[in-house]
Chain A
């Protein structure tokens, strides 16, 4: 293995060369001949009937080419934006989804929902045109509040009580019985605050139609261009799949918000054929706030039953999840299969029962945001556990330890469907305590108090299910897509390698990590590997990047394709060695045979594959290029222990994160530098959720936090240095032993922060985000 670029090395990233010099190519950086510009006209009302739309004034604006309304898309056979996962309610009925036309036709149901769009020669003309569009609305009563949505005005004609589904998981009777026997019950009312993802690159699309070939090309900011393509082709019916190419070039962050198929790219690609010219759109940040799918927004009642000695006996959770106005692409799965299934956490709680009621409101759709369901689950479990320890007068570390699933219990079947393959939770905890200088805590607390500050400490031991996902399992649970991944390894004549992956990198560094994997396994230089992603015209159907799946599923697919390359290489080498392929070994980039002292370097076999002189062509095809599709047999289960110490100024309520320790078990790690970077970013978003970020709608459904003036993004001076380390129990069911690291930080950190804050204040709960005002008010109430 190469110490600088092999598996396990912190290889510097290949992609950085273009990003640090300003040569990245993001969607908005791409311009094509004859392009026009598009601006969407968005609803100023949270809920209204569209009585009429006046486009005439807009058409009169110089430079405006066309103004389109939703009716024109509908008339042209453009379908609804679908939700790709059908969740079944307790009563056996499938979820109820309202119609979701890309461009609103009869009703608008959230502020920012597009109801028309203007295409013009210049962006200025498109903006002027959009401003000139007016509509006559009959304004209707808006439903905004998550907790009371089911008893509010009915939003959609076909959705009674504004309820999409009422879902359950686990054994209700066994859980009730556990509570009946419990010595102690800890209960919490928890609100998981609405977050707005805010990838720094706003969404964008550039659609064009080539009349000669009748093909469409869509450049867009997608985490999964193949999913975008199949949805636009099959469901929205913009174009036949074969005639539609979707390219996600460099994408400036996603965090889930760029998984989904949105109105804007649908409109742009469709309309490009109507006007016969390319159309470009880029969201202003204000539009991103209104129209990107938001995250979280749960109202939960959670209870934990314990014995007097702290043994966790049962867990009961009832959650109302806000879906927003429509069911976004994967929204239904987030508060169910990515949430309820995680309620065992790291613990052997024998009985768990989870209910989730998904409700509609007149707010932007809510879907997966970094962690997607798992941060919410971790927050429930870890807030409960910490609170229970305080109520029982136990050390929260000790309470966790006695309830951890022991290492000899794996594979461990939880009461909520998942089977954990491996883990060592006590090991992560021990390392985290050591890093956090647990022994020095009392002295630090005393020093804080001497300075007039309040100090608190909180823990969070998370588990996540990632590496999404075993196709047949999720299909059984209602998913509309398989969740395998594709890979193609093309060995070039010279022995360099081009890898096509269905995964997509929008910051994760796949061009580097995947190249490390290939270079390590083939024994070829790191610089000889070129990783291509984000283009349906170049790679096979793949599912993209979300759910921390790229290395576990995409990487495993590459690994599988590499197996095939090596197997074929051995066959070719066998002919050269005049032996059989089972006698050929491959290691360190060399094919060797015991009967020869002249091993064949990989490049020589590559050349031989394409210059087929040495092997019989009736036995072996020429060339050296292999594909693989990898479908995982289980989720992967990263887990970790986080410790947070806060220092609070009681005079203002300001919270300073004095210490943040994260110890994660991601199994084997290909590039520790990149993995640590992922953890840092996740923690920043988790601290953001705990202290700063909150998507707030006012009572009439206006987004009160619709810009960076009001939505508090974590900035450099809001965050501490993070202490990050790892333990490892390799995944048992994928060839690389990897688990995935993209979401862990965002999953584990909010509970650690809030446990620390409640500890410092000596209160049971503080709602997120714990802004200075919230903390100050909490202190005032206590005095």
Chain B
């Protein structure tokens, strides 16, 4: 079947199998391999992207369900050469090690901060990121990075 989606601002018409996942569309059809697959039970969050402005697990959305939607991936959050404040904060706070969970973590963190009316505290950040598993950092520096970034978002 054919779906039309806007990915990182560009309209795309993609021919996919009926059982394709949004993550398949991004990684295989569009070559956006920054969206990672870390599990098969929708727990790890490495595949997190924004669909119509909300963080979702792209491995748990059928391509057909995303038809007509607007998707933003890790490749699409910087403004040209200028990194998103969350990207800057992750690097400045050493909030990543192997980098595999990082795209999903950053996408979740951006939505977490953006959808909160008031500044978040550390505990809220920890709860807000429960859908993303990191095995390297112990989350300590991720929490710091998110708290740091929200001042610049």
Q: Which of A175-214 contact B (CB under 8 A)?
A: 198-202
* Contact flag A285-B138 (CB < 8 Å), given A22-B34, A24-B34: no
**Interchain CA distance A255-B142 in the complex, whole Å:** 19
Q: CB-nearest residue of chain B relative to A20?
A: B87
Q: CB-nearest residue of chain A relative to B76?
A: A22
19 residue pairs bridging A and B, Cβ less than 8 Å apart: A19-B103, A20-B96, A20-B106, A22-B34, A22-B73, A22-B74, A22-B103, A28-B37, A124-B19, A200-B46, A201-B98, A201-B100, A253-B100, A677-B136, A677-B137, A678-B97, A680-B139, A708-B41, A715-B139
Most buried by B among A22, A251, A673, A678: A22
* Beta-carbon contact of B138 and A683 below 8 Å: yes
> Cβ of A713 < 8 Å from any Cβ of B?
yes
* Beta-carbon contact of A680 and B137 below 8 Å: yes
> Cβ of A721 < 8 Å from any Cβ of B?
yes
Q: How many B residues have CB within 8 A of the partner chain?
A: 54
Query: Mask for A36-70, Cβ within 8 A of B = 1, else 0?
Result: 00000000000000000000000000000000000
* Contact flag A24-B40 (CB < 8 Å), given A681-B137, A684-B139: no
* Beta-carbon contact of B91 and A680 below 8 Å: no
Shortest distance between the CB of B50 and any CB in chain A (Å): 13
Q: A677-B141, A713-B133, A714-B138 given; name 5 further pairs at CB < 8 Å.
A: A252-B99, A285-B41, A681-B138, A716-B129, A716-B142
**Interchain CA distance A285-B140 in the complex, whole Å:** 25
Shortest distance between the CB of A662 and any CB in chain B (Å): 11
Q: CB-nearest residue of chain A relative to B125?
A: A716
Query: Mask for B21-45, Cβ within 8 A of A = 1, else 0?
Result: 0000001000011111111110110
Q: How large is the interface on A (under 10, 10 to 19, 20 to 34, 35 or more residues)?
A: 35 or more
Shortest distance between the CB of A594 and any CB in chain B (Å): 43
Given the complex, which residues of A lie within 8 Å of B99, measured CB to CB? 15-16, 18-20, 24, 250, 252, 507
Q: Which of A686-716 contact B (CB under 8 A)?
A: 707-709, 713-716
Most buried by B among A26, A199, A684, A715: A715
* Contact flag A681-B92 (CB < 8 Å), given A201-B38, A285-B44: no
> Cβ of B58 < 8 Å from any Cβ of A?
no
Q: Which of B33, B40, B91, B136 contacts A12 (CB 8 A)?
A: B91
> Cβ of A783 < 8 Å from any Cβ of B?
no
Query: Mask for B119-153, Cβ within 8 A of A = 1, else 0?
Result: 00011011101101111111111110000000000
* Beta-carbon contact of B135 and A681 below 8 Å: yes
Shortest distance between the CB of A780 and any CB in chain B (Å): 29
Given the complex, which residues of A lie within 8 Å of B125, measured CB to CB? 716
* Beta-carbon contact of A21 and B34 below 8 Å: yes
> Cβ of A286 < 8 Å from any Cβ of B?
yes
* Beta-carbon contact of A19 and B41 below 8 Å: no
Shortest distance between the CB of B85 and any CB in chain A (Å): 11
**Interchain CA distance A590-B136 in the complex, whole Å:** 39
Given the complex, which residues of A lie within 8 Å of B43, measured CB to CB? 707-709, 713
Query: Mask for A273-295, Cβ within 8 A of B = 1, else 0?
Result: 00000000010111000000000
Chain B residues with CB under 8 Å of chain A are 17, 19, 27, 32-41, 43-44, 46, 73-75, 78, 83, 87, 90-92, 94, 96-103, 106, 122-123, 125-127, 129-130, 132-143
* Beta-carbon contact of A26 and B92 below 8 Å: no
> Cβ of A357 < 8 Å from any Cβ of B?
no
Given the complex, which residues of B lie within 8 Å of A285, measured CB to CB? 38-41, 44
* Beta-carbon contact of A251 and B98 below 8 Å: yes
* Beta-carbon contact of B91 and A20 below 8 Å: yes
**Interchain CA distance A681-B97 in the complex, whole Å:** 9
* Beta-carbon contact of B38 and A19 below 8 Å: no
Q: CB-nearest residue of chain B relative to A17?
A: B91
* Beta-carbon contact of A506 and B98 below 8 Å: yes
**Interchain CA distance A250-B139 in the complex, whole Å:** 21
* Beta-carbon contact of A23 and B94 below 8 Å: no
Shortest distance between the CB of B48 and any CB in chain A (Å): 12
Q: CB-nearest residue of chain B relative to A711?
A: B43
* Contact flag A715-B91 (CB < 8 Å), given A15-B99, A201-B100: no
Given the complex, which residues of A lie within 8 Å of B126, measured CB to CB? 716-717, 719
**Interchain CA distance A718-B106 in the complex, whole Å:** 19
* Beta-carbon contact of B75 and A22 below 8 Å: yes
